[in-house]
Amino acid sequence: MVNKKRIFALNRKPLVSGPIIYWMSREQRVHDNWGLLHARELAGNDRPLVVAFCLAPAFLGATLRHYDFMFTGLEKVEQELADHGIPFVVLSGDPVKTLPQFARDLGAGAVVTDFDPVKIKQQWQGGIGQQLEVPLIEVDGHNVVPARVVSNKQEYAARTIRPKIHKLSHEFLEELPPLEPVTVGAPSFDPVDWQGVRQSMQVDRSVAPVNIRPGEKAGRDALSDFVHNRLLGYAEKRNDPNEEATSRLSAYFHFGQLAPQRAALDVAASGKGEDQASYLEELIVRRELSDNYCLHNPNYDSLQGAAPWALKTLNEHRDDPRDFIYTYEEFEQAKTHSGLWNAAQQQLLKTGFMHGYMRMFWAKKILEWSASPEDAHAIALRLNDRYQLDGRDPNGYVGVLWSVAGLHDRAWKTRSVYGSIRYMNENGCRRKFNVDEYCRTWL
The site for ligand FAD (CB under 6 A) is made up of: 238, 246-250, 253-254, 282-283, 286-287, 290, 356, 359-360, 363, 384, 388, 390-391, 393, 395-396, 399-400, 402-403
CB of 419 to ligand FAD, least distance (A): 18
CB of 263 to ligand FAD, least distance (A): 8
**Which residues, in sequence order, are bridge partners of residue 14?**
none
Q: Which is nearer to ligand FAD, 220 or 287 (CB)?
A: 287
Q: Which is nearer to ligand FAD, 30 or 363 (CB)?
A: 363
Q: Which letter does DSSP use for residue 232 in this model?
A: T
201-204 contacts, C-beta under 8 A, 24 or more apart: 201/55, 201/57, 201/67, 202/57, 202/58, 203/62, 203/63, 203/64, 203/67, 204/61, 204/63, 204/64
CB of 149 to ligand FAD, least distance (A): 19
CB of 112 to ligand FAD, least distance (A): 24
Sheet-wide strand order for 20-24:
7-9, 136-139, 110-114, 20-24, 49-55, 88-92
CB atoms within 10 A of CB 9: 11
Q: Which is nearer to ligand FAD, 78 or 375 (CB)?
A: 375
Q: Which is nearer to ligand FAD, 98 or 345 (CB)?
A: 345
CB of 290 to ligand FAD, least distance (A): 5
Which phi and psi (to 5°) does residue 78 adopt? -60, -45
CB atoms within 10 A of CB 315: 12
Q: Which is nearer to ligand FAD, 399 or 406 (CB)?
A: 399
Between CA 300 and CA 13 the distance in angstroms is 31
Residue 433's nearest CA partner among 300, 181, 291, 237 is 237
Query: CA torsion sign, 392 to 252 to 75 to 118?
Result: negative
CB-CB contact of 270 with 231 (8 Å): yes
Amino acid at 232: L
CB of 362 to ligand FAD, least distance (A): 6
Q: Which is nearer to ligand FAD, 104 or 119 (CB)?
A: 119
Q: Which is nearer to ligand FAD, 111 or 407 (CB)?
A: 407
CB of 398 to ligand FAD, least distance (A): 6
CB atoms within 10 A of CB 4: 8
CB of 405 to ligand FAD, least distance (A): 11
CB of 300 to ligand FAD, least distance (A): 12
Between CA 278 and CA 231 the distance in angstroms is 10
Q: Which is nearer to ligand FAD, 138 or 393 (CB)?
A: 393
Residue 24's nearest CA partner among 141, 127, 181 is 141
Q: Which is nearer to ligand FAD, 125 or 395 (CB)?
A: 395
Between CA 145 and CA 155 the distance in angstroms is 14
